Amino acid sequence: MRKYTFKNRELSWLDFNERVLQEAADITVPLIERLRFIGIFSNNLDEFYKVRYATVKRLALSKKKVKKFYKGENAKDLLNLITERAIELQNRSNLILDFILKDLEKENIFIADEQAIPKDSISYIKSFFLDKIQPKLKIVLLNEKDDFPQLSESSCFLIIKVESKNKNLNYAIVQFPDKFERFIVIKNQDVKYVIMIDDIIRYHLFEIFKIFNPSNISANMIKFSRDAELDFDDDISKSYLEKISQSVKDRLKGDPLRFVYDKEIDPNTLKFLLEKMNINSEIDSIIPGGKYHNKKDYMNFPILNNDLAYDKIQQLVIKDFYKHKTVFESIDERDFLVHTPFHKFNHILTFLSEASIDPEVKRICITIYRLSKLSSVANTLINAAKNGKEVVVQIELQARFDETNNIDYAKLMQDQGVKLIFGIPTLKVHAKVCVVEKLINNKILKYGFISTGNFNESTAKIYTDFTIFTSNQSLLDEISNVFEFFSFNYKKFKYEKLIISPYNTKKFFKSLIKNEIKNAKRGKDAFIKIKLNNITNYEMIKELYKAAEEGVKIYLIVRGICCLIPDQKNTHNNIELISIVDKFLEHTRMFIFCNNGKNKTYISSADWMTRNLDNRVEVTIPIEDEKISNQLNEIFSIYWNDNQKSRYVNSENNNEYRKNELGIIRSQSQVYNYHHNEN
539-566 in b/e form (b: 16+ CB < 10 A) is: ebbebbbbbbbbbbbbbbbbbbbbbbbb
Q: What is the pLDDT of residues 526-583, one digit of tens each?
A: 999 999 999 999 999 999 999 999 999 999 999 999 999 999 888 899 999 999 999 9
Average pLDDT over residues 245-252: 42
**CA-closest candidate to residue 448, choices 419, 414, 474:** 474
Task: Name the H helices within 231-276.
Answer: 240-250, 267-276
- The helix/strand count (H/E) of the chain reads as 19, 26
Q: Quote the percentage of the chain above a pLDDT of 70.
A: 91
Q: Is-contact 348 455, C-beta < 8 A?
A: yes
**CA-closest candidate to residue 348, choices 331, 323, 362:** 331
Average pLDDT over residues 387-398: 86
Average pLDDT over residues 144-150: 75
185-208 in b/e form (b: 16+ CB < 10 A) is: ebeeeeebbbbbbbbbbbbbbeeb
Q: Flag whether pLDDT at 207 surpasses 90.
A: yes
Q: Write the CA distances from 604 to 276, 369, 402, 466, 590, integer angstroms.
A: 47, 15, 22, 9, 6
Class of domain 327-495: alpha beta
Domain spans in the chain, listed from the N-terminal domain onward: 9-308, 327-495, 500-678
The partner residues of 470 in beta bridges, in order of sequence, read 448
CA–CA gap between residue 584 and residue 668 (Å, rounded): 8
**CA-closest candidate to residue 580, choices 538, 545, 532, 632:** 532
Domains 9-308 and 327-495 in one fold: no
Q: Flag whether pLDDT at 243 surpasses 50.
A: no
More confident position, 260 or 602: 602
Q: What is the pLDDT of residues 617-630, one digit of tens each?
A: 999 999 999 999 99
CATH code assigned to 500-678:
3.30.870.10
Other Cβ atoms closer than 10 A to 255: 16
Q: Flag whether pLDDT at 129 surpasses 90.
A: yes
**CA-closest candidate to residue 397, choices 240, 226, 227:** 240
**CA-closest candidate to residue 128, choices 203, 218, 222, 219:** 203
What is the signed CA dihedral for 258, 264, 266, 271, rounded to 10 degrees?
A: 20
CA–CA gap between residue 235 and residue 233 (Å, rounded): 6
Average pLDDT over residues 10-29: 96
Q: Is-contact 224 153, C-beta < 8 A?
A: yes
What is the signed CA dihedral for 108, 111, 115, 116, rounded to 10 degrees?
A: 10
Where residue 507 falls among pLDDT bands split at 50, 70, 90?
Answer: very high
Per mean pLDDT, which of 22-26, 162-166, 209-213 is the most reliable? Answer: 22-26
The CATH topology of domain 9-308 is: polyphosphate kinase like (3.30.1840)
Which amino acids are annotated catalytic?
430
Residues 6+ apart with CB under 8 A from 246: 233, 238
